[in-house]
Amino acid sequence: MTAVPSTAAFVDRHIGARATETDAMLKAVGYDTLDNLVDTAVPAAIRQDAPLVLNAAQSEQETVAALRKIAAKNKTAVQMIGQGYYDTHTPPVILRNVVEDPAWYTAYTPYQPEISQGRLEALLNFQTMVQDLTALPVANASLLDEATAVAEAVLLMRRSNKAKSEGKIVLDADALPQTIAIVKGRAKALGFEVEVADLAAGLPDGEITGVVLQQPGVSGAVRDQSALIAEAKERGALVTVAADLLALTLLTPPGEQGADIAVGSVQRFGVPLFFGGPHAAYMAVRKGLERSLPGRLVGVSKDSAGTPAYRLALQTREQHIRREKATSNICTAQALLAIVASMYAVYHGPEGLKAIALRAHGHARALATALSNAGIELVSDTFFDTVTARVPGRAADVVAAAEAKGINLRLVDADTVGVSADETTTDAVIADVAAAFGAEAAEAAGFELPAELLRTSDFMTHPVFSSYRSETQMLRYLRRLSDRDLALDRTMIPLGSCTMKLNATAEMQAMTWPEFASIHPFAPDSQTEGWRELIEDLEAQLATITGYDQVSIQPNAGSQGELAGLLAIRGYHHSRGEEQRNICLIPASAHGTNAASAVLAGMKVVVVGTAGDGAIDHADLRAKIDAHRENLAAIMITYPSTHGVYDDDVRDVCDAVHEAGGQVYIDGANLNALVGLAQPGEFGGDVSHLNLHKTFCIPHGGGGPGVGPVAAKAHLAPFMPGNAAAWDGGDDIPISASRFGSAGVLPISWAYVRLMGGDGLTAATKSALLAANYVAARLNDYFPVLYTGKGGLVAHECILDLRELTAKTGVTAEDVAKRLVDYGFHAPTLSFPVAGTLMVEPTESEDQGEIDRFIDAMIAIRAEIDQVAAGDFPVEESPLRNAPHTATVAAGNEWTRPYPREQAVFPLKTLRMDKYFPPVGRIDGAAGDRNLVCSCPPIEDFEN
């Protein structure tokens, strides 16, 4: 018998380099085996003793089959629970060509705007839609979820309302329960007062900093809030309205009622329920608050030819610049989901959205009519889509009767049931719901929204919201935008600290299956067995990988994992009666989110200096520990450091902090350098966050979604995030609106671990080290590598130092980043963690050919810098400063530049077949910040 030949293992699809390439790269670095290189690079002191043991690697077919089995353990239902989550139809053209299209989902946050005009336009559409619907002039391009958006609004009100800074925050009792929990949790950490009050009865007494209203309330009640808002403002408070955007197509918007801030979820604009996330939230503010707005903001500026161009505005507010003084810790947000919502609005237009709203409202009215005909009392006769009914003693029976018909209702309490209609609701479903109450279906009669609550103003009048109504138009619009961008489907994205690796199709497939995508976060446990099994399994695998005892996948970004971990540390110190421990040591080189998160956890940041070799300055560390010994809460260290090097003595650092009574937070965003080789939970960490959207293959989505699990040792387990919807104010402060955060994207990471197995994951780490060291070795003569560890090796990324070249020639790291676009590349990380440098992280997924293409581009760019040095052209007129070059410029009749057109756009012969032309030239960021425009510009602006 001949053996059946085995097919290629997935690990060989995930890792880019073939065996011969690995050998060639090793040779270039000066090693004969991968293990020798790894043994030299990774300090023995932190190496894990035993190999990583997980499941055995499985094929793509086996993994997808296993996911099918798990999915089958979830039960789909008609979801009418509401409470902030509503069923919706994702238009198939958007599902396939955005959610399932790598051109959209593999893009990075648009920090390099010239190669991001497509997604920036989509996000600007999002902002314009939110501004119009809320009637407030400035909206950001997404927050993480509604509850945390309200928390951000509360913090914004506290920052901005200097006159009433000592007052309390008043929350509408009809706000979503998870919102109330998240705000109270933040208040607990920061020590401010929150009062939950029935605002239908008016404002409570006392000094008030800010008020949060919900429109419609969780009960469904729609109220005229203008008088309340006026009274609050009269008393010096700021006002936030958490509003449902679909309802605002019918209702007077918060901006017209005098609100300062509006926030909410845009989930029901075509984003699946996903068992609670990922969904985009929005925030819009009145004029004067825009510079305090958290999150990303897209603005309009001009490029070098004067053409309007989009870019991220006001970045100076963000945590990577302002650190502990930032407006928020949010970095990764929900870009992909915001894009889906914006495209839903583009597809339906203002009339379409209004029709969808009227349909949901009509079905709610029909149900209300049926129930009141049957003598059932309603909590409010004025509602949009949600009817809450009083059925004394029989609420559970009603919910059970509906469930028997495949319909989920909201069990409010023993006497009360909530029913939310949505876009997908049908007459038949309403009849079944009525029957569950023991009522008979009826035509809607009465329950109209009162005239004084109705919206009279137009919205979404920009042509973008009326130009793409046929599917062909929509398809081409999506394609046109994505073609303007460089994502991983076209080129490596060598962004240090971001780990832009393969997002394999087999990993991506399951997330849009209805058994995962259509599950409501508050569906009964009996319907979510598969989800919980997958989550428990993933958490267990992550615990094994990191060496921690407990993992929670609730945080929906790295920043949120940081906050969760620091809150756990805070809770731990408090539980031991050490409330005074509030100092958080953070190295100067840390990611900006670290400092911003520490502040949100109620801690004071003390910066620890960096030594000449890039490691922590131990003398400074000792001094700071001694100075703050009594009050030391924690140190936050990134490992390997943001300098891309394995610190030899990380154990000593951890010991010193522990000895002083502090806890050690290890930022695990760089886990791609550790998996299978070393475990933060073993070499000194008490708690870490990981970024599944880096190391574990969740695509970056152009700026989100993300998952930032928090992993901790057993002594911190009681302080891990609890369930916001059921939180009792205990030590388990919840961090996200929904219990399992961005559950919808977890099948991706689950599949990755399953496909790779322990050996495969370890092999990936080793290949990532090799790729980074290969880049470092090949480019060191052209751009010196700033920091190296043992044997002159780096970890999974390397910093190329441009500063000396800049001093000599005037060519900046930014010039090199922009020039790379002409070579078809996304730039490396620019000026982080060291100004004037580029940080390169190739990841294990790139093959040697692609890495060489990048190296060749960098070497060619170095030659151009030498041309500047040699006086061939002044830096201001060099191809570097003029980069990137558009087709318009290159093909224009005028060409007066001191270098040939061919050098401008085809600096390497290999570019001839596959040339990427950026749609705009270099964008003037500062001009856009001075003259802030954050909504879609009129079409005429583009006609010059």
Ligand X SMILES: *Cc1c(COP(=O)(O)O)cnc(C)c1O
Cα separations (Å) of 63 from 4, 67, 192, 766?
A: 21, 6, 48, 24
Token readout for 530 is 């598969």
Q: Closer to ligand X at the Cβ: 637 or 716?
A: 637
Q: Which CB sits closer to ligand X, 558 or 747? A: 558
From residue 670, give the alpha-carbon distance in Å to each of 52, 118, 280, 554, 565: 18, 29, 26, 19, 16
Residue whose CB is less far from ligand X, 657 or 839: 839
Nearest to 140 by CA among 263, 320, 238, 260: 263
**Which value, in Å, is the radius of gyration of the alpha carbons in the chain?**
28
Between 64 and 671, name the residue whose CB sits nearer to ligand X.
Answer: 671
CB of 667 to ligand X, least distance (A): 5
CA atoms within 13 A on the CB side of 674: 32
For ligand X, the closer CB: 468 or 740: 740
Of 88 and 638, the one with the shorter C-beta distance to ligand X is: 638
Report in angstroms how near the CB of residue 678 gets to ligand X at its nearest: 16
Closer residue to ligand X (CB): 530 or 833: 833
Residue 595 C-beta: closest distance to ligand X, Å: 11
Q: Smallest distance from the beta carbon of 668 to ligand X, in angstroms?
A: 8
Closest approach, Cβ 638 to ligand X, in A, equals 5
Q: Whose CA is closest to 141, among 937, 720, 789, 703?
A: 703
Query: In this complex, which beta carbon is closest to ligand X, that of residue 82 or of residue 721?
Result: 721
Would you call 460 helix, strand, or coil by DSSP? coil
Closest by CA position to 643, among listed 447, 851, 785: 785
Token pair 């997604």: residue? 119
Distance of closest approach, residue 593 Cβ to ligand X, in angstroms: 4
Our CB check for ligand X shows the closer of 134 and 638 to be 638
- To ligand X, the closest distance from the beta carbon of 795 in angstroms equals 12
The span from the CA of 890 to the CA of 906, in Å, is 10
Nearer to ligand X, 707 or 920 (CB): 707
CA distance 48 to 676: 8
Q: How far is the CB of 484 from ligand X (least distance, A)?
A: 24
CB of 598 to ligand X, least distance (A): 12
Report the C-alpha gap between 224 and 259 in whole angstroms.
Answer: 12
**Distance separating alpha carbons of residues 823 and 157, to the nearest angstrom:** 46
Q: Which is nearer to ligand X, 379 or 488 (CB)?
A: 488
DSSP 80-140: --BTTB------HHHIIIIIT-HHHHTPPPSSSGGG-HHHHHHHHHHHHHHHHHHT-SEE-
Nearest CB to ligand X, comparing residues 134 and 560: 560
Give the interface with ligand X as residue ranges (CB under 6 A): 331-332, 497, 557-559, 591, 593, 638, 642, 667, 669-670, 691, 706, 708
User: Shortest gap between Cβ of 907 and ligand X (angstroms)?
Assistant: 31
Are 722 and 730 in contact, with CB atoms under 8 Å apart? Answer: yes
- Tokens 């893009």 belong to which residue? 107
CB of 589 to ligand X, least distance (A): 10
Contact of 353 with 346, CB cutoff 8 Å: no
Q: Which residues pair with 285 in a beta bridge?
A: 138, 261
> How many whole angstroms separate alpha carbon 502 and alpha carbon 697?
6
Closest approach of ligand X to the CB of residue 148, in Å = 12
Smallest distance from the beta carbon of 48 to ligand X, in angstroms?
21
Q: How many residues does the chain have?
A: 944
Strand pairing category for 238-243 and 208-215: parallel
- Measure the CA–CA gap between 136 and 634, rounded to whole angstroms: 40
Q: What is the dihedral of CA 850, 853, 854, 860, to 10 degrees?
A: 180
Which residues make beta-bridge pairs with 232?
none
> Is the Cβ of residue 694 or residue 766 nearer to ligand X in the bound state?
694
Residue nearest ligand X, CB atom distance = 558
Q: At what angle do helices 177-190 and 592-600 cross, to 10 degrees?
A: 90
